[in-house]
Structures are given as C-alpha cells and as structure tokens.
Structure 1
Amino acid sequence: MKELDCRGQACPQPVLITRSFLVDHKDAGDFCIRVDNRAAAENVKRFLENSGFGCVLEEAGSDFLIVSRSGMPEGLPQEKMPEKQDGGKRKILVMLTTDRIGEGDAVLGAALMKNFILTLKELGEDLWRLVCLNGGVRLALKDSPVLPALRELEDEGVDVLVCGTCLEHYGLTEKKAVGSTTNMLDIVTGCGVADKVISF
C-alpha cells in the first residue's frame, strides 16, 4: 500500500499533497495518508470523500492514517462549486474571524455577534457557506451561545466550516460541536466562487 507521509506539514499542505498524488496516480489503488494531528486528518478525509473516495480514519500511536482501499464504498459525490447564473440565487459566503463584532466593549461585541448569527437566516437560500477561523472558531464550540443557531443553519443546508489549524492553535479541536473541519484550500476556493463574501 502506498503511504504518503504528511507529518509536520502545515495546513493546507496535507490536502495539497494528497490532491497532487491523485492527479499523478489516476488509478491509485490502495493508499493511505499519514498525518500527525487530528485537524489535518479530518481535512484529508473530507477532501477524499468529496473527491469520491471511500476512506476510513485510523489512529496509529500519536499519528492518524486516512486509508483508502479498492472496493471500499465510494465517498460523497465530487463537490460541485456553485454556478453563477443570471436570475439564479446568489452564493453568499460569511467569514467570521472573531467571536464578537467591533472594538470596544467585549460583552456588547459578543451580543452583536449573536444577533448577527441569529439574523443570518434572513438571507434565505442565498446563504451558502459560513466559515469560522481564528477567534471565530469559538463560535462552533460546545459551550458557544450561538451553537443552536449554527446547528439550525447547518440543518437547513448551509455549509458550516471550521478552520482546523485555528482549532489546533487554540487547543480546541475536541470541543468543536458543529460544522466540518476545513483548511485554507477550502476557504480560498470558496471565496473564489462565492458571489459575495461578508467578513467580520
């Protein structure tokens, strides 16, 4: 079995290395990717599934293996980027880089962010993706005051993504309670295809 050793690689390198491997090996057969942190493992697994590969995540000591074998059930259908069409619904991406809005009073800032997230549903079907990164990852934790609102948005089809590197940096990986762990490749690609990006 071919093994890609991506230990010590910063986000989004494990995903980029995996993608490059798959481009060079159209019939990859059995292969696995070894990483040394959970965020990278979840990012690679999500990428493979979205690319149509069945895979499993296994722990190997302090490392993680994402294993894909021939004959495994296929992953999710390849992710399709939204197409911009005249008269069609827009694709709005909301990027939350903090858990509060504005400078000044922290309590007021947190309350404003909560109200902002509660009001996001007014965008209707135009709201496509919500990305939490840096301090914004705190919004997706088990004790977040906006956790129910984020879960409701996700249940309604909004793609909620949480930066894996940021979770690792703050030591919060195990506390994430909503959304999919993501990487900078997903974030950059999403910004590139969105009709509008709103950032706080």
Structure 2
Amino acid sequence: MTPIDARNLACPGPVLAAKAFIEQNDPNRITIVVDNEAARQNVERFLSSQGYDMQVEQSDDTWTITGIRKSGAAFQEEKIPVREHGSATLVLISSDRLGRGDDDLGEKLMASFIKTLEEMGTDLWRLVFVNSGVRLTIDGSAVLPDLQKYEAAGTRLLVCGTCLTHFDLMDRKQVGQTTNMLDIVTAMQLAEKVIVI
C-alpha cells in the first residue's frame, strides 16, 4: 500500500487525509507520512480513536505512522456528550492575557478568569487553547495547577499543535492533549455553549 504523503500540509490536513482515506476504504492498515511533531501526535490520536494500533518510525524530521486496525474496530465519529446535569460548555482561550491595554493587568485578569472557571461546575466540558493561549499550558505558567486540576476532574483540555509549534513550545506543554483544527471545530459543534475569550 502506498503511504499517504501528508508532509507540508497545514493543520488539520494530515488528520483530514487519514479520515478521508479511512471513510473511503475502511482499511485494516493505513500508513501516513508527516513532517512535524504536532501532526504526528494528532494523526496518532485520530487513528487510535478509530481502533488502530500504531507503529511509528522517525527519520530526521519525518514520521511514518502505520496504523493496524484492532479486530472488530470501525470508523467512529465523536458523539454528542450525554450529560446528567448542566450543559456541555466549551471555552476557547485565544490569548495568555485577557483584554487589551496593559499586558501585566491582562495576565492577572486571565489568571483570575482561569481560577474562576471552577464556578461553572459540571457545565465546564472543554477548554481549548489556541494562539498565545497555549502559553497557559506550559511549564512555568501561573495557572498550570488550575488547569491540571480541571483535567484531573474530567474536563478535556485541547491545545493547538500548530500554535505550540509556532511558538516552539511543544516540548514544554504540561497539560492537555495536542490537537488540531478538526478536533476544535468538532468540539465546538458538539458543545451546547461556546465561550470565546
């Protein structure tokens, strides 16, 4: 089987290529080649969600990911969350500061906002970090303990892989799943409420 060449594809291109191939062919084996760490993590997570075990080979800045389907596994779309209480609220955080004007004040306001999200209780379903918001998820972040607490309590944190790569922070991420725009858009569709900060 010829590997899917997903090098030089912008996010979420590699995941979309894998998704389209699986939907059209329902293969027991799929091989996809990517050229960055964020794409590797995203493709591996997607293939795993579709019932594939992974073998990964790296050569310089290229990863060859081979997925072998587990017995009985089939393509699965993410389902709308079933909630006993509250609503599935997604909060998208696009900056490490809240508001514009004074950067120091903006950092303090963001830290206060993150801490106060606890008041949402079971409504808080997803936290999504994009652009400079990914800086909140790395070592040294003032809100890292709060984010780790939310994740431990069951809130899923999605951290943009393209953004981590852009700011050269991939190795410093301490919380959340590295994600792509397909996951972010899908989560927004499934959420009952979306709050953009």
Deviations 1:7-59 (A, max 9, x none): 01000110100000001111x12222110000011111111112222224432
State the partner residue of 1:156. Answer: 153
Aligned 1:68-79 pairs, distance under 5 A: 68-70=67-69, 79=78
CA distance in 2, matches of 1:58, 1:154: 30
State the partner residue of 1:101. Answer: 98
8 Å contact kept, 1:131–1:160: yes
CA distance in 2, matches of 1:78, 1:24: 14
CA distance in 2, matches of 1:40, 1:195: 28
Letter in 1 for 2:45: R
- Identity, % of aligned pairs? 44
TM-score by length of 1: 0.90
Any stretches of 5+ residues in structure 1 without a counterpart?
A: none
Letter in 2 for 1:106: D
CA distance in 1, matches of 2:124, 2:70: 37
Count residues with an aligned counterpart. Answer: 196
State the partner residue of 1:55. Answer: 54
8 Å contact kept, 1:52–1:78: no
State the partner residue of 1:186. Answer: 183
State the partner residue of 1:166. Answer: 163
Q: 4+ residue runs of structure 1 moved beyond 3 angstroms?
A: 70-75
**Cα offset, 1:177, TM superposition:** 1.1
**Superposition CA RMSD, Å:** 2.2
State the partner residue of 2:193. Answer: 196
CA distance in 2, matches of 1:117, 1:42: 26
Any stretches of 5+ residues in structure 2 without a counterpart?
A: none
TM-score by length of 2: 0.91
Partner-residue secondary structure (3-state), 1:177: coil
8 Å contact kept, 1:141–1:176: yes
